[in-house]
Structure 1
Amino acid sequence: MAVTLAEEIMLLSLDDDSGLIKQRQSAGWAVAGAILLELVLAGRVSIAGKYLELTRVEPTGEQLLDSRLPLIETWLRGRCKRRVTDWLTKDQEKGVGATLESLRGRGVVGETEHKVLGVFPRRRHPEADGSVVRALRERLEAVVVMGAEPDERTAGLIALIHSARLHRLAFPGLSRRQVDARMAEIAAGQWAAEGVRAAIREMQAAVAVITIATVAAVS
């Protein structure tokens, strides 16, 4: 399977030189939302209103996605549905770790460790195969800057980047003003079935609310 949406968001957030995650909190929410979106597109999860429901548990064949299915099933605790925001909050940190592990397994990033103040271990994930992120940035630029029509997955990716305010990571050479209107247009466009677009709107709202709250708490 091609690189997942969550892996693409993670690649955009990793500094090419240091291997550290930029905008870690916001990127984490977007990664968790991207995993959930992939499960929606794969027909394993449905989202209606502010709630998510597990609809199928058969493996998709993608380990990053399949690892979330039993976790969601356990988290639901016999209920038919729970809030999207609650799942994103629960899976944000673990989802980042699982996504980095998946990228390492693909050989796209490496892993090094150093100690902060000589005591606290800190992992870095330097680029190992730059062709993947270069192709990703070219795809995003073609759609957002050059006006090409996005496919379903690219539109979903842009919607998540937009809601998590990751514009600078996706388009480091451009101001938010230069890309914001086009990204909003794509997020609201007729690029997928209504059920998928409704799910994206709810995840956008959830990611945006959490991101704004996180920024406010640390400012």
Structure 2
Amino acid sequence: MTITLAEEITLLSLDDESGEAKERQAVSWAVAGGILLDLALAGRVSVTGGRLAVTDGSPTGEPLLDERLGLISAWAGKRAKAPKVADWLTKDQAKAPAATVARLCERGLVVEEKRRVLGLFPVRRYPEADGSAERELRERLRAVVQGGAAPDERTAGLLALVHGAKLHRLAFPGEPRKEIAARLEKLADGEWAAEGVREAIRNMRAAMAAVNAATLVVVTS
């Protein structure tokens, strides 16, 4: 089963048993970035000078990506010039996670459970229903980062997003963060994709870094 980058990031973030989402804010940006990166890899969007453009509006065949492609086309079409990547990520990061987890439910990889906290507040949890995709994903990431295997384009892109959003502990629980981060930094800077795709990654990482910095200021002020 081939799942999207956004779905892979979401699987890493969901507790298998409780279905609770971890590191929600950082994950939301990485999920939005994953959808955008998949569209770039599919040749549907491009990034030049930090600005986003739809280059091919034809469907990819993946509902999650095609819905976002339509939204980007409509949103960008209302502007006099190509919008900034950071502006789209800012707009989509609040909504992309829900669309992504809904797709995981459709695939039967997680199941939605509705509960009430203190008998009053409704919450949704998404425990694991089929762990095969996540197991394969984690084995693939370990093979590249800890085993030295050469990554394919999508795996390298996923690791760049994990690094940019500082989701090291979700992807590699129990491993020394500094060692993992150093390896991911090298991978993120590698010549693993076309320049347009690498520019998209750089812009997404910059946007996520800005959010992390702003969050730190709020927490420490």
Both structures adopt the same fold (TM-score exceeding 0.5): yes
User: For structure 1, which segment, 71-80 or 193-202, has the greater mean C-alpha deviation from structure 2 after superposition?
Assistant: 71-80
Name the amino acid aligned to 1:153: R
Partner of 2:98: 97
Does structure 1 residue 17 correspond to structure 2 residue 17?
yes
Partner of 1:139: 140
Partner of 2:6: 6
> How many Å apart are 1:177 and its aligned residue?
1.1
Does structure 1 residue 212 correspond to structure 2 residue 213?
yes
- Name structure 2 gaps, 5 residues minimum: none
Name the SS of the counterpart of 1:214 in structure 2.
helix
* Deviation by residue 1:165-213 (Cα, 9 ceiling, x = unmatched): 0000000020211211110000000111122112211111112212332
Does structure 1 residue 29 correspond to structure 2 residue 48?
no
Does structure 1 residue 175 correspond to structure 2 residue 172?
no
In the alignment, is the contact (CA less than 8 A) between 1:39 and 1:45 conserved in 2? yes
Query: What's the Cα RMSD here?
Result: 1.3
In the alignment, is the contact (CA less than 8 A) between 2:86 and 2:203 conserved in 1? no
Name the amino acid aligned to 1:19: G
> How many Å apart are 1:79 and its aligned residue?
3.4
Matches within 5 A, 1:147-186: 147-186=148-187
* Deviation by residue 1:13-64 (Cα, 9 ceiling, x = unmatched): 0011210110000000000000000011111111112211111211000000
Name the SS of the counterpart of 1:67 in structure 2.
helix
Name the SS of the counterpart of 1:93 in structure 2.
coil
CA distance in 1, matches of 2:172, 2:122: 31
In the alignment, is the contact (CA less than 8 A) between 1:57 and 1:69 conserved in 2? yes
Name the amino acid aligned to 2:90: T
Does structure 1 residue 115 correspond to structure 2 residue 128?
no
CA distance in 1, matches of 2:145, 2:72: 33
User: Which segments of structure 1 move beyond 4 Å, counting only runs of 4 or more?
Assistant: none
Name the amino acid aligned to 1:72: I
In the alignment, is the contact (CA less than 8 A) between 1:49 and 1:202 conserved in 2? no
Name the amino acid aligned to 2:105: R
CA distance in 2, matches of 1:84, 1:218: 26
Does structure 1 residue 69 correspond to structure 2 residue 63?
no
TM-score by length of 1: 0.96
Name the amino acid aligned to 1:113: K
CA distance in 2, matches of 1:206, 1:104: 29
TM-score by length of 2: 0.95
Q: How many residues align?
A: 219
Name the amino acid aligned to 1:2: T
Matches within 5 A, 1:32-71: 32-71=32-71
CA distance in 2, matches of 1:109, 1:30: 19
